[in-house]
């Protein structure tokens, strides 16, 4: 007699990947249970992509007011209220939480607002109950990693940054990843004095070096203090604020310290080891191309696997798992040529290989670059440059990397990602007619090699 289970699929974590997998599986007729101990929608909806982009929009208005003068607008004296922004942001996030709940329940999935732990390969413990499942999906995401130095308990992570009661006047951001860069722009644009400290020689490791260096120049122009090759060695609470001691020996007094020094897979305490699921040395769940773990009936998607930690990737992985287990198709998600953006100010976006990666893989590459002042700023007077760059494999002329810093970078690179996915060549880029006047047309008019 075949084994019977309480659920066909039990998903631990109701973030983007877990919700997509659960919804699609339920749509195939599977009986699905979903456990979530924090908030529906995961990091992206609650303390990540969505609220962060809303804060980016808010912070951009300060420059927009300044730029308007060159176009004949009387700027007046605009003022900003942090509490209004956060209240409006919270209302939108609450709406999205409801959307995610309806997506699951309308599909027929059962939501359990509690922590789940694996007891064995087919059994989970939730709210003191033991439930069995034919398949288990782990989609618990990642969590901020805090550094270790004296006084670090005085600092916050990016999670708490979305719920500050007031906007601090002086802020120190520790870290050099995309979260730190984005929040530096957010806080600066909203009126805070911002200093960013990073231990490496330049932030945004993994992005193209020209974009990294140009973004640093643009941020300094705006008045953000950047200190590379520098560590925070300690924090101390004083009557007038928090004093940070730096490895250079300098002391900096601020009102808030935010550490954005990376994230780690949220895999601890789930009982994965008890079930026999293999983890790597960083705590990420080891999976194959089909998101299957070392235990045949247990799968994992999203940041907890530490592959490409992006929301659309987690969604694609979750959908593929549901199709594999309950549908009629099986596919491996291609993690190459995945576009990404950093909503810095100005923003950057990229798809494909960096120049350094191209040279490492092919030995030689052709580089096309264009740097210019955007048309908008010929009247605004703002000293800001746009940078565009193509990396081309010389043997067949295929474009293997596209990179941009400037207004609407994310929107523009999204379109180019399709071209790279299709294997477009530089000749095909050149044969494409541009839309004038736009910044994007520069990608099809670059003719001179760098």
What phi-psi label fits residue 76: left (phi over 0), alpha (psi between -120 and 50 degrees) or beta?
left
pTM recorded for the entire structure: 0.96
Residue 3 is predicted with a pLDDT of: 79
Longest C-alpha distance within the chain, in Å? 80
Domain count, the chain: 3
Say if 315 falls within a structural domain: yes
Active-site residue, selected from the candidate residues 198, 319, 377, 436: 436
Q: Are residues 18 and 114 in the same domain?
A: yes
Q: State which of 245, 261, 277 marks the end of a domain.
A: 261
pLDDT tens by residue, 97-154? 999 999 999 999 999 999 999 999 999 999 999 999 999 999 999 999 999 999 999 9
Which helix (H) or strand (E) covers residue 45, if one does?
A: helix 42-47
**CA distance readout (Å), 162 to 53, 169, 294, 443:** 11, 16, 37, 36
Closest of 125, 379, 436 to residue 271, by C-alpha: 125
> What's the rounded mean pLDDT across residues 331-347?
96
Closest of 186, 201, 179, 166 to residue 82, by C-alpha: 166
- Reported confidence tier of residue 74, pLDDT bands at 50, 70, 90: confident
Its sign, for the CA torsion 27, 32, 33, 37, is negative
Q: State which of 261, 291, 312 marks the end of a domain.
A: 261
Domain coverage including residue 321: 7-144+264-326
pLDDT tens by residue, 141-195? 999 999 999 999 999 999 999 999 999 999 999 999 999 999 999 999 999 999 9
Say if 279 falls within a structural domain: yes
Angle separating helix axes 16-27 and 82-107, nearest 10 degrees:
30
For residue 252, count other CB atoms closer than 10 A to its CB: 19
> What's the rounded mean pLDDT across residues 281-306?
97
Q: Are residues 15 and 59 in the same domain?
A: yes
Cβ 25 vs Cβ 323: under 8 Å = no
pLDDT tens by residue, 218-242? 999 999 999 999 999 999 999 999 9
Q: Are residues 235 and 292 in the same domain?
A: no
> What's the rounded mean pLDDT across residues 59-67?
95
Say if 185 falls within a structural domain: yes
Cβ 230 vs Cβ 247: under 8 Å = yes
Residue 348: which residues within 8 A CB-CB, separation 6 or more? 204, 207, 211, 215, 341, 342, 403, 404, 405, 409
Give the integer Cα–Cα distance in Å for 258 and 152: 10
Percent of the chain whose pLDDT exceeds 90: 98
Q: Is 130 exposed, middle or buried (0-12, 13-18, 19+ CB in 10 A)?
A: exposed
- Give CA angle at 284 (304, 317), nearest 5°: 40
Say if 318 falls within a structural domain: yes
Say if 331 falls within a structural domain: no
For residue 64, count other CB atoms closer than 10 A to its CB: 13
> What's the rounded mean pLDDT across residues 43-66?
96
Query: Coil, strand or helix: which one is 194?
Result: strand
**CA distance readout (Å), 164 to 88, 170, 187, 258:** 14, 14, 12, 11
Round the average pLDDT of the chain to a whole number and report it.
96
Q: Are residues 351 and 416 in the same domain?
A: yes
**CA distance readout (Å), 357 to 57, 313, 341, 401:** 32, 21, 18, 9
Q: Are residues 295 and 415 in the same domain?
A: no
Q: What is the CATH number of the domain that holds 227?
A: 3.50.50.60
- 377 flagged as catalytic: no
Query: Coil, strand or helix: which one is 59?
Result: helix
- Which long-range contacts (C-beta less than 8 Å, at least 24 apart) are formed by 202-206? 202/176, 202/228, 203/176, 203/177, 203/228, 204/176, 204/177, 204/178, 204/342, 204/348, 205/176, 205/177, 206/354
Q: Are residues 291 and 407 in the same domain?
A: no
Residue 222 is predicted with a pLDDT of: 96
pLDDT tens by residue, 325-334? 999 889 999 9
Give the integer Cα–Cα distance in Å for 166 and 270: 35
Say if 332 falls within a structural domain: no
Q: State which of 261, 287, 309 marks the end of a domain.
A: 261
Residue 2 is predicted with a pLDDT of: 61
Q: Are residues 158 and 134 in the same domain?
A: no
Q: Are residues 240 and 287 in the same domain?
A: no
Say if 2 falls within a structural domain: no
Say if 449 falls within a structural domain: no
Q: Are residues 189 and 272 in the same domain?
A: no
For residue 206, count other CB atoms closer than 10 A to its CB: 12
Q: Which phi and psi angles does 150 have, rounded to 5°?
A: -55, 130
| pLDDT exceeds cutoff 50 at 1 | no
Q: Are residues 39 and 97 in the same domain?
A: yes
Q: What is the CATH number of the domain that holds 409?
A: 3.30.390.30
> What's the rounded mean pLDDT across residues 76-92?
95
Residue 397: which residues within 8 A CB-CB, separation 6 or more? 425, 426, 427
Q: Are residues 357 and 254 in the same domain?
A: no
Q: Are residues 178 and 241 in the same domain?
A: yes
């Amino acid at each position: 007699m075949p084994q019977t289970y309480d659920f066909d699929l039990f998903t631990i974590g109701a973030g983007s990947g877990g919700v997509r997998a659960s919804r699609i599986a339920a749509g195939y007729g599977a009986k699905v249970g979903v456990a979530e101990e924090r908030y529906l929608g995961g990091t992206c909806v609650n303390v990540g992509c969505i609220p962060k982009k809303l804060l980016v929009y808010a912070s951009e208005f300060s420059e927009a007011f300044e730029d308007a003068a060159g176009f004949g607008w009387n700027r007046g004296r605009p003022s900003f209220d942090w509490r209004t922004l956060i209240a409006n942001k919270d209302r939108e996030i609450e709406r999205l939480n409801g959307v995610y709940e309806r997506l699951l329940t309308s599909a027929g999935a059962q939501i359990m607002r509690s922590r789940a732990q694996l007891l064995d390969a087919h059994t989970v413990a939730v709210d003191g109950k033991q439930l069995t499942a034919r398949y288990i999906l782990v989609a618990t995401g990642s969590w901020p990693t805090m550094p270790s130095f004296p006084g670090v308990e005085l600092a916050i992570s990016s999670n708490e940054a979305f719920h500050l009661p007031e906007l601090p006047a002086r802020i120190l951001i520790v870290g050099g990843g995309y979260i730190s860069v984005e929040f530096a722009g957010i806080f600066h644009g909203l009126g805070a004095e911002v200093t960013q400290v990073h231990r490496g020689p330049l932030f945004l490791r993994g992005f193209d070096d020209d974009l990294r260096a140009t973004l640093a120049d643009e941020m300094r122009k705006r008045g953000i203090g950047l200190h590379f090759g520098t560590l925070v060695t300690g924090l101390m609470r004083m009557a007038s604020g928090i004093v940070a001691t730096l490895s250079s020996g300098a002391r900096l007094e601020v009102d808030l310290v935010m550490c954005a020094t990376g994230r780690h897979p949220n895999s601890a305490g789930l009982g994965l080891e008890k079930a026999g699921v293999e983890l790597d040395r960083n705590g990420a769940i080891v999976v194959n191309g089909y998101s299957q773990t070392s235990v045949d009936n247990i799968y994992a998607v999203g940041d907890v696997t530490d592959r490409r930690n992006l929301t659309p990737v987690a969604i694609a992985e979750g959908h593929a798992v549901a199709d594999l287990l309950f549908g009629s198709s099986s596919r491996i998600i291609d993690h190459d040529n995945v576009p990404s953006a950093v909503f810095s100010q100005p923003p950057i976006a990229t798809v494909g290989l960096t120049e350094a990666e191209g040279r490492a893989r092919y030995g030689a590459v052709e580089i096309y670059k264009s740097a210019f002042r955007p048309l908008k700023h010929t009247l605004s007077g703002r000293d800001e440059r746009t940078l565009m760059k193509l990396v081309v494999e010389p043997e067949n002329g295929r474009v293997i990397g596209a990179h941009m810093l400037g207004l609407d970078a994310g929107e523009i690179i999204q379109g180019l990602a399709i071209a790279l996915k299709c294997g477009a060549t530089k000749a095909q880029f050149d044969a494409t007619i541009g839309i004038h006047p736009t910044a994007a047309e520069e990608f099809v008019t670059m003719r001179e090699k760098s």
